[in-house]
Amino acid sequence: MIEEQYLPMYRHSLAHILAKAVIKFYGDEKIQIAIGPQIDNGFYYDFGLPHAITEADFPAIEKLMNEAIKKGDDFVRQEVTKKEALEIFADQKYKVELINDLPEGETITIYKTGDFVDLCRGPHVSNTKDLQSAAFKIASTSSAYWRGDEHNDVLQRVYVYAYPSKGELKEYLDFLAEAKARDHKVLGPQLDLFFFDQNAPGMPYWLPNGLRMLNTILQYWREEHETLGYHEVATPLLNKNALWVTSGHWDHYRNGMFVMEDKDDDSIWGLKPMNCPNSVVIYKRKRHSYKEFPLRYSDSDVLHRKEKSGELNGLLRVQMFRQDDSHNYVTEDQIAEEVNNILDIADRFYGIFGLTYRPELSTRPDDFMGEISLWDRAEAELKAILDKRYGKDGYDINEGDGAFYGPKIDIIMKDCLGRQWQMGTVQLDFQLPRNFGIVYVAADNTEKIPVIIHRVIYGSLERFMGILIEQFKGSFPFWLAPTQVGIVPIREEHNEYAREVAKVLRKNSIHIELDTSDTHMNNKIKNYKHYKVPYVVVIGNEEVENKTVSINLRDGRQVHGIKIADFVKMCNYMNRVKCLDLIAGVDEVIPETDCCC
RNA sequence: GCCCGAGUGGCGCAAUGGUAGCGCAAUUGACUUGUAAUCAAUAGGUUGUAGGUUCGAGCCCUAUCUCGGGCUCCA
């Protein structure tokens, strides 16, 4: 059994064993070894290989690893001079590069394991036999660029899962299987929410169920923002490229745009990849006073961004999407308060969905534009806000990772496999107002340049849907569920009353489905359960007679003899408070007092 | 763009280079049912696409498209 704090050491030692095994696997063929760090679920090692390792090779390499472990070689640490190190690794180009990059005077250490030697800071286990209790499994291979730069050599990376014991490795493999069951790419088509067609890669087809959900979250967004003083607009999806020439986007980002040429007059058009320039066109239409600020133009138009092949990932990385966008025009003095307002919205929205997030602050990059004093002030204000809201450890800072036009705060979430995705973002923009030459009239009757705050809460609606599907594993809260109530008449003679119930529920804007088909009630229930419908209402003699319904809850619980009026009241309540619980709202019908709303 | 892998009825899968099958779903009929799979029959396929090798290709080769896991990228 390996103690937690030593796990990195074991993983790293196993990385050496892998490298040793791969060298042996290739026999006389010369291979280059690069680096082999440990990661969350194990480790990887990068190699320059004459021909790729494929999955079929995994067992053989694993066998070689096990043999090396059994052999019982010591991990021998040795300090060497730079000159000695360069001699030892003379034919290993990546190691030579690493050695040459080490600061002068730094102690260079190497580790020998039998005939294998690696440049390494350590520490390691003392003998390969110490690794016998560990469990590992070669997971996958990938290409990887030397030092993560696409201009460098392409290496082959071998990923290995590694855990202290067989039990823990199995636990991790079980987790992966569980994640698969949560995967929105699997659940989405299964629940008839969306799908992709090969003629529109990265552009989701929204099916009735999925669009209903998407509309539900968009409707909630509209209602909230209207009361908060946002004004929704819609702008052209297709524009002549002059728009982006002015905004500055054409030079930087035209490769990421879907562009088309009109042969009739040789004009060049593009599908908008972002809303900001169009928002500014609206701003420019009139002269604005400081008294109107903050002036908030929101929109949720469809955007297109061309991605390099291999970068798409279900709903989480698409080429066609909508943002719950807004561009807020503020004075420099209003930045802090407005950002705070926006983060309030984010907290409320994410809370409604039961999601927790981690903010990230990205600061001034090297190629920044604008005045450095404004940057400094804005960054200091953003930091103060984040400190206050989330505590010093409650957020991360990415130094130099801001956009060239201003610093930003990103909302980061994880998918079911732990991969991180940017959701909401609040970006200050000092540049676009200057590119378009927009101004406002200040209190002293002079013209000043506004600051634009680009902000999204959900981020991309598509990505947010993907995260929601995984968060709830397809079992959505009542208010989000595409079908909220499935109605099952037991026999044909119950259809009439079932239609009555359906009518009442529909009148209350509750999304229902009624199954009057000539099949066994069990089939009807099974069908609704497949779609994870929160409430299956069963109607038979008893219900017809007493004007009640019987509910089969998604979790299997049953509640009998509920008056229709109470049921409607309950559904309305669930919708109104956007309850995350499966049942709430009417005390007498709730089997357990489990309402948290 | 890069490396590896995958693509077979709507879905999930099967098929040594030798007649493309199974389950679910669908359709039709029977059954009229009290809480997650009633019975029977029927229909559904140029095996992603385009070439090639072969007497013969779902299977081998080439190209291409899409998808998956990563790398890089993500205004």
Q: How far apart are CA A438 and CA A279, in angstroms?
A: 12
Q: Half-sphere exposure (CA, 13 Å, Cβ side) for A324?
A: 30
Per-residue pLDDT for A18 more than 70?
A: yes
Nucleotide lying nearest to A559, CA to C1' measure: B35
How distant is C1' of B22 from CA of A205, in Å?
31
Say what the pLDDT of residue A1 is.
Answer: 56
Across A367-430, the runs of DSSP E, i.e. the strands, are: 396-398, 408-414, 420-429
Say what the pLDDT of residue A106 is.
Answer: 81
How distant is C1' of B40 from CA of A564, in Å?
40
Say what the pLDDT of residue A380 is.
Answer: 92
Q: What is the pLDDT of residues A356-403, one digit of tens each?
A: 899 999 999 888 888 889 899 899 999 999 999 999 899 999 988 888
Q: How far apart are CA A43 and CA A57, in angstroms?
A: 18
Say what the pLDDT of residue A5 is.
Answer: 75
Q: Which positions ≥6 away from A572 have C-beta within 8 Å?
A: A508, A510, A585
Q: How far apart are CA A220 and CA A241, in angstroms?
A: 34
H or E element in which residue A87 lies: helix A82-88
pLDDT band at A2; cut points 50, 70, 90: low
User: In chain B, which nucleotides are within 7 Å of a protein Cβ?
Assistant: 1-5, 7, 11, 25, 30-38, 65-75
Interface pTM, i.e. ipTM: 0.94
Per-residue pLDDT for A121 more than 90?
A: no
- In sign, the C-alpha dihedral spanning A225, A230, A231, A236 is negative
CA A587 to chain centre: 38
pLDDT band at A594; cut points 50, 70, 90: very low
Say what the pLDDT of residue A337 is.
Answer: 96
State which residues between 278 and 337 of chain A bring their CB within 7 Å of strand B: 305-314, 317
Nucleotide lying nearest to A200, CA to C1' measure: B66
Please give the residue that has the higher pLDDT: either A3 or A229. A229
Per-residue pLDDT for A293 more than 80?
A: yes
Q: Is A78 an annotated catalytic residue?
A: no
Say what the pLDDT of residue A442 is.
Answer: 97
Per-residue pLDDT for A593 more than 50?
A: no
Per-residue pLDDT for A590 more than 70?
A: no
Q: How far apart are CA A355 and CA A372, in angstroms?
A: 36
pLDDT band at A589; cut points 50, 70, 90: low
Q: How far apart are CA A111 and CA A513, in angstroms?
A: 67
Query: Residue A234: what residue type?
Result: A
Sheet containing A512-514: order of strands: A512-514, A485-489, A535-539, A548-553, A558-563
pLDDT band at A341; cut points 50, 70, 90: very high
Q: Half-sphere exposure (CA, 13 Å, Cβ side) for A573?
A: 18
Task: Measure Cα distances from A94 to A1, A33, A84, A119 in Å.
Answer: 35, 7, 16, 10
Say what the pLDDT of residue A591 is.
Answer: 52
Neighbours of A273 (CB within 10 A): 19
User: Using an 8 Å Cβ cutoff, are A360 and A412 in contact?
Assistant: yes
Q: What is the pLDDT of residues A488-543, one digit of tens each?
A: 999 999 999 999 999 999 999 999 999 999 899 999 999 999 999 999 999 999 99
Per-residue pLDDT for A454 more than 60?
A: yes
Please give the residue that has the higher pLDDT: either A120 or A507. A507
- What percent of chain A is predicted at pLDDT more than 90? 76
How distant is C1' of B18 from CA of A55, in Å?
30
Say what the pLDDT of residue A384 is.
Answer: 93
Asked if A148 CB < 7 A from strand B, the reply is: yes
Q: How far apart are CA A544 and CA A110, in angstroms?
A: 82
CATH class given for the domain over A4-172: alpha beta
**A434-458 mean pLDDT:** 96
User: Using an 8 Å Cβ cutoff, are A369 and A430 in contact?
Assistant: yes
Which residue reads 């063929």 in tokens? A29
User: Using an 8 Å Cβ cutoff, are A321 and A303 in contact?
Assistant: yes
Nucleotide lying nearest to A530, CA to C1' measure: B36
Say what the pLDDT of residue A597 is.
Answer: 35
pLDDT band at A307; cut points 50, 70, 90: very high
User: Using an 8 Å Cβ cutoff, are A139 and A109 in contact?
Assistant: no
Per-residue pLDDT for A587 more than 80?
A: no
pLDDT band at A550; cut points 50, 70, 90: very high
Q: How far apart are CA A364 and CA A501, in angstroms?
A: 60
Say what the pLDDT of residue A122 is.
Answer: 78
Ranges in chain A annotated CATH 3.40.50.800: 485-589
Q: What is the DSSP secondary-structure string of A152-220?
A: S-EEEEEEEEEESSHHHHHHHHHHHHHHHHH-HHHHHHHTTSEE--TTSTT-PEEPHHHHHHHHHHHHH
Helix (H, G, I), strand (E, B) or coil at A530: helix
pLDDT band at A235; cut points 50, 70, 90: very high
Q: For the range A29-33, what are the long-range contacts, defined as Cβ-Cβ under 8 Å and sequence gap of 24 or more?
A: A30/A91, A32/A92, A32/A93, A32/A94, A32/A155, A33/A92, A33/A94, A33/A95, A33/A118
Quick one: CATH architecture of A186-471?
2-Layer Sandwich (3.30)
Nucleotide lying nearest to A318, CA to C1' measure: B74
Write down the mean pLDDT value for chain A. Answer: 92
**A326-337 mean pLDDT:** 96
Per-residue pLDDT for A596 more than 50?
A: no
Q: Is A312 exposed, middle or buried (0-12, 13-18, 19+ CB in 10 A)?
A: middle
**A314-328 mean pLDDT:** 97
Q: How far apart are CA A387 and CA A31, in angstroms?
A: 49
- In sign, the C-alpha dihedral spanning A38, A44, A48, A49 is positive
Say what the pLDDT of residue A588 is.
Answer: 60
* Topology of the domain covering A485-589: Rossmann fold (3.40.50)
Q: What is the DSSP secondary-structure string of A479-529?
A: TT-SS-EEEEESSGGGHHHHHHHHHHHHHTT--EEE--SSS-HHHHHHHHH
**A198-220 mean pLDDT:** 95
Q: Is A28 an annotated catalytic residue?
A: no
Give the helix ranges, DSSP H, for A393-451.
Answer: 432-436
From the C1' of B32, which residue's alpha carbon is nearest?
A: A491
How distant is C1' of B37 from CA of A569, in Å?
34
Q: How far apart are CA A272 and CA A278, in angstroms?
A: 9
Say what the pLDDT of residue A210 is.
Answer: 96
Q: Is A251 exposed, middle or buried (0-12, 13-18, 19+ CB in 10 A)?
A: exposed
Q: What is the pLDDT of residues A33-87, one digit of tens each?
A: 999 999 999 999 999 998 889 888 899 999 999 999 999 899 999 898 888 899 9
CA A381 to chain centre: 27
